[in-house]
Amino acid sequence: MRYFLIDRIDEMKKGSFAVGTKAVSLSEDCFEHHFPGQPVYPGALLIEGMAQLGGALLEISLRDEMGHCPRCVLSTVKAKFRDFTKPGDVLSMRAEILSQHDESAKVRIRGTRGDKRICEAEVLYVFLKIDDPKLEASRNEFLDILTRETRFLD
């Protein structure tokens, strides 16, 4: 993955929820054309950041249970945007597992700036088993970096 659109996972209860942070910086590439003089963080990137948080929650929750780190891939997304996100904003995102099955799971993710709701989505993921040790090691390294300062709850 080339773009990591969440900065860290602050808190997690495996199998239940995760809280992550995204600090939006004017130096991000997307602001060159979106939009000059009125920079707005693209909704598609908000969705991807939310999906990365939900996927990380699922993958971390399932890797002990399944004996490997499943790759969670987007299947469907239903999203709402309530306000613009601009450079300097710090978003807090909360992902909650709504349902889980053998090959898929549904997660609700909400993004807020302070007390204001900015965006929310329900995301359906399907699970893939990647039989490439290098890819699995790379994914585990990414998850370890995201969670190096995470407070895990029982």
Which residue out of 33, 34, 68, 101 is catalytically annotated? 34
- State the residue for tokens 């890797």: 63
Interacting residues of 21 by C-beta distance below 8 A, sequence separation 6+: 6, 7, 8, 10, 90, 91, 92, 93
Other Cβ atoms less than 10 A from the Cβ of 77: the count is 14
Top pLDDT among 1 and 9 is at 9
pTM over 0.85: yes
Q: Where are the domains of the chain?
A: 8-144
Each residue's pLDDT tens digit, 19-52: 999 999 999 999 989 988 999 999 999 999 999 9
Q: What is the mean pLDDT of the chain?
A: 94
Q: Is 34 known to be catalytic? A: yes
18 phi and psi angles, rounded to 5 deg: -145, 145
CATH of domain 8-144: 3.10.129.10
Provide mean pLDDT across the span 138-151.
93
Closest CA to 15 of 72, 73, 57, 49: 57
